[in-house]
C-alpha cells in the first residue's frame, strides 16, 4: 500500500494540538515549540535495543521507543547512516522540515538517514518500534543523500545492505525530512567542517579561521541555518558517536543494550 503525504491536514491538526497543550508543555520538563521557537530542556529517555552484527561494520538494530506525553527533539546520526522500518502502534511521529510539519499517514513507513543528518521529530503519546541497519561504512551508491521517509515500507526490515538497496529500488515515494530545507552555501561549508572535525580537539575558532571567518560570523551563520550553536552541534555529534559505539560493543558481546537517547 502506498503512503499518502497529507501535509496540510497534519499541519492543521498538530497546530490545534499544540495550542491546546502549550501551557502544559511549557511547565513540564519537555521541550516546547512556542511561537515558532524551541524551548529546550534536555530530557533523556531510554530505549532497550537488540543489536546483531550482520556484515562487517553493519549492525541490525531493533529499538523500542515510548513517549507518554509530547516531546520535540533533534536526532543526529553522526558518522553513521541508518535505514529501517518504523512501526507506530500508538500515537504519532511527525517530522519538522523548515517551517512545516510532515509525516506519513500510515503507521508503518521506511526511513533512511545518511551520515551527519539532523532530523527533528515530534513524538505525540507514541509507542513505536524501529528495526533496521546502521553502519559507519561508506554510504552505498544509489542510497539517498538526504534524510527521507519512503513508501511502501517492506514487510520485513532489511537485514543486509543488498536488501536495503532492493528496498530503495522498490520505493515509489520519498519524503524529505531533513531539518533544514535549504541551508545557505556558507552554512553547508561550516557544517561540513564541523562534521570532519567533531572528534578532534581543534577549537571552533581555529575551524572558523580555516574558513576565513570570524568566530562571531561562524557561530551566527550556523545557528541561523540549523537553530543551534556550533558548540552544541559538536557536543551532540560526540554524544551520538558514543551511543553508536556502545551499540557496536553490545553487538560484539551479543547482548541487549540500553542506550540513552535525547528526544
Q: What does the domain layout of the chain look like in residue ranges? A: 7-176, 185-262
Q: What would the mean pLDDT of 214-221 be, rounded to a whole number? A: 94
Instruction: Note the pLDDT of residue 88.
Output: 94
Q: Which CATH superfamily is domain 185-262 in?
A: Homeodomain-like (1.10.10.60)
Q: Is the pLDDT of residue 29 over 90?
A: no
Fold of 7-176: Jelly Rolls (2.60.120)
pLDDT tens-digit series, residues 129-157: 999 999 989 988 999 999 999 999 998 89
CA dist list (Å): 156 to 81, 131, 196: 19, 9, 34
In this prediction, residue 38 carries a pLDDT of 40
Average pLDDT over residues 176-188: 89
Amino acid at each position: 500500500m502506498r503512503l499518502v503525504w497529507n501535509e496540510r491536514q497534519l499541519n492543521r491538526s498538530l497546530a490545534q494540538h499544540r495550542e491546546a497543550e502549550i501551557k502544559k508543555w511549557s511547565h513540564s520538563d519537555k521541550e516546547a515549540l512556542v511561537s515558532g521557537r524551541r524551548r529546550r530542556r534536555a530530557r533523556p529517555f531510554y530505549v532497550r535495543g537488540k543489536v546483531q552484527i550482520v556484515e562487517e561494520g553493519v549492525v541490525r538494530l531493533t529499538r523500542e521507543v515510548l513517549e507518554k506525553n509530547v516531546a520535540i527533539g533533534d536526532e543526529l546520526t553522526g558518522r553513521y547512516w541508518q535505514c529501517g522500518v518504523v512501526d507506530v502502534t500508538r500515537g504519532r511521529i511527525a517530522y519538522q522540515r523548515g517551517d512545516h510539519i510532515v509525516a506519513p499517514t500510515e503507521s508503518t513507513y521506511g526511513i533512511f538517514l545518511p551520515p551527519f543528518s539532523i532530523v527533528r521529530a515530534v513524538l505525540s503519546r507514541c509507542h513505536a518500534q524501529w528495526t533496521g541497519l546502521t553502519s559507519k561504512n561508506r554510504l552505498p551508491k544509489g542510497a539517498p543523500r538526504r534524510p527521507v521517509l519512503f513508501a511502501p515500507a517492506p514487510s520485513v526490515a532489511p537485514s543486509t545492505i543488498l536488501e536495503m538497496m532492493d528496498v530503495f529500488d522498490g520505493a515509489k515515494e520519498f519524503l524529505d525530512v531533513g531539518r533544514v530545507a535549504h541551508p545557505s552555501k556558507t552554512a553547508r561549508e561550516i557544517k561540513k567542517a564541523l562534521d570532519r572535525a567533531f572528534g578532534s580537539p581543534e577549537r571552533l575558532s581555529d575551524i572558523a579561521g580555516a574558513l576565513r571567518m570570524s568566530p562571531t560570523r561562524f557561530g551566527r551563520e550556523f545557528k541561523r541555518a540549523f537553530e543551534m550553536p556550533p558548540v552544541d552541534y559538536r557536543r551532540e555529534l560526540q554524544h551520538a558517536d558514543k551511543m553508536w559505539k556502545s551499540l557496536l560493543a553490545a553487538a560484539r558481546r551479543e547482548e541487549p543494550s540500553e542506550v540513552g537517547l535525547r528526544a
